[in-house]
């Protein structure tokens, strides 16, 4: 009799079942065990699933290697986190392609109240290094978890700065936890396990193949409240991560650099496309993220709300239900025309009632 954990891990190894379908199946059946115990007809009748994938589940035979993986994880103090585990990074659950399984070796809370991802080029400038270290240093007293990808350059600078400032830091890997890539970061990885950790969706013996890195990047973007792009060219891993963060409706910040500096070209492009906010200060970033609140007197707040129209009051009531709301949700829930919503949002922004953030996301001041 296989355990629920074995079936959870098996779900990631069935041919043709990706993270999106694994999530849908888990929501439908309630557990991985129920998925594998369901008959072929029940599985194939699920919309978008089909007989071929149902057959792949029923014919899966790789349970022995999964038990070996569990033994390896137990030996090396690696936590195996399924979608519905309490320790699973909850912010990722808002992403349609959340990893089904995560392997974590470390001692920090992946659901920390404040998480920031810091990314950038592997070949940084002195300016990029200084800015990264400054940002992390200014976050020292903010109880922030710093996330990056363990690569050379900005990634490793962010990790090291976090450790120097006694902030937990997590490296998201594009390979299994039986190795460290690049190998020069073995000492850094050991230090991070003591104050933070290493996270991956890949089981042991998975090499750092090229195609793994873009998938790794979605975890870097999805598990954080916001992402800071320090330096990047117009193409590369950092731009992929930034695009993912934008599509996830996460706050995205870019450090402005010299117009003549190729390593700032990607940051300037993100700003020019209105995908990233210009990073001007750590304090401003924290205000945008809602980590610190601007002081607004009660009297002024009442005056602002007295001046709101019926349409604006309707939109405010929607914004009060959660921390941030996407423009599409405002259209849907308010029942107003797009032009009415646009006019109302602009007026409220001018009155300092709301803040517009990257990705067409809004929040109350």
pLDDT of residue 293: 61
Q: What class is the 298-364 domain?
A: mainly alpha
Length of the chain, in residues: 365
315 forms bridges with which residues in the sheet? none
Q: What class is the 1-75 domain?
A: mainly alpha
Strands (E), the chain: 79-82, 101-106, 115-119, 145-148, 169-172, 196-200, 226-229, 251-254, 277-278, 325-326, 354-357, 361-364
CATH 1.10.150.20 range(s) for the chain read 1-75
Ranges under pLDDT 50 in the chain:
295-300, 302-304
From residue 15, alpha-carbon distances to 39, 57, 86 in Å are 18, 8, 27
CATH 1.10.10.10 range(s) for the chain read 298-364
Give one DSSP letter per residue of 270-305, joined into a string: HHHTTSSEE---HHHHHHHHTSS-----HHHHHHHH
3-state SS class at 51: helix
- pLDDT of 169-218, one tens digit each? 999 999 999 999 999 999 999 999 999 999 999 999 999 999 999 999 99
Question: pTM to 2 decimals?
Answer: 0.80
The Cα 14–Cα 11 span in angstroms is 6
Give one DSSP letter per residue of 210-236, joined into a string: TTHHHHHHHHHHHTSSEEEE-S--SSS
pLDDT of residue 337: 82
User: CATH number for the 106-289 domain, one of 3.20.20.70, 3.90.550.10, 3.30.1490.20, 3.40.50.450?
Assistant: 3.40.50.450
């Amino acid at each position: 009799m296989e355990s629920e954990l074995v079936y959870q891990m098996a779900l990631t190894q069935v041919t043709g079942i990706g993270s999106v379908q694994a999530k849908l199946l888990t929501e439908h059946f309630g557990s991985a065990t129920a998925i594998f115990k369901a008959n072929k007809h029940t599985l194939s009748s699920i919309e978008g699933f089909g007989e071929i994938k149902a057959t792949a589940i029923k014919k899966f035979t790789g349970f022995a290697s999964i038990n070996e993986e569990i033994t390896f994880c137990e030996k090396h103090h690696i936590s195996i986190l399924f979608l519905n585990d309490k320790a699973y990074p909850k912010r990722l659950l808002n992403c349609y392609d959340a990893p089904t399984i995560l392997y974590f070796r470390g001692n920090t809370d992946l659901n920390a109240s404040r998480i920031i991802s810091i990314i950038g080029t592997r070949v940084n400038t002195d300016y990029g290094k200084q800015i990264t270290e400054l940002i992390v240093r200014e976050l020292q007293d903010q109880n922030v978890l710093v996330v990056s990808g363990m690569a050379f350059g900005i990634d490793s600078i962010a990790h090291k700065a976090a450790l120097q400032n006694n902030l937990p830091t997590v490296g998201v890997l594009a390979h299994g936890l039986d190795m460290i890539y690049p190998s020069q970061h073995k000492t850094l990885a050991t230090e991070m396990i003591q104050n933070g950790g290493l996270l991956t969706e890949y089981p042991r013996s998975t090499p750092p193949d090229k195609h793994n890195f873009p998938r790794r990047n979605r975890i870097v973007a999805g598990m954080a409240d916001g992402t800071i792009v320090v330096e990047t060219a117009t193409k590369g891993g950092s731009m992929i991560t930034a695009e993912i963060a934008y599509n996830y409706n996460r706050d995205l910040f870019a450090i402005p650099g010299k117009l003549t500096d190729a390593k700032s070209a990607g940051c300037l492009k993100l700003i020019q496309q209105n995908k990233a906010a210009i990073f001007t200060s750590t304090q401003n970033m924290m205000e945008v993220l809602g980590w610190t609140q601007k002081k607004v007197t009660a009297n002024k707040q009442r005056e602002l709300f007295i001046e709101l129209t019926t349409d604006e009051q309707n939109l405010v009531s929607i914004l009060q239900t959660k921390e941030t709301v996407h423009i599409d949700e405002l259209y849907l829930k308010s029942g107003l025309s797009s032009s009415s919503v646009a006019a109302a949002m602009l007026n409220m922004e001018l009155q300092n009632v709301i803040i517009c953030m990257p990705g067409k996301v809004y929040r109350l001041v």
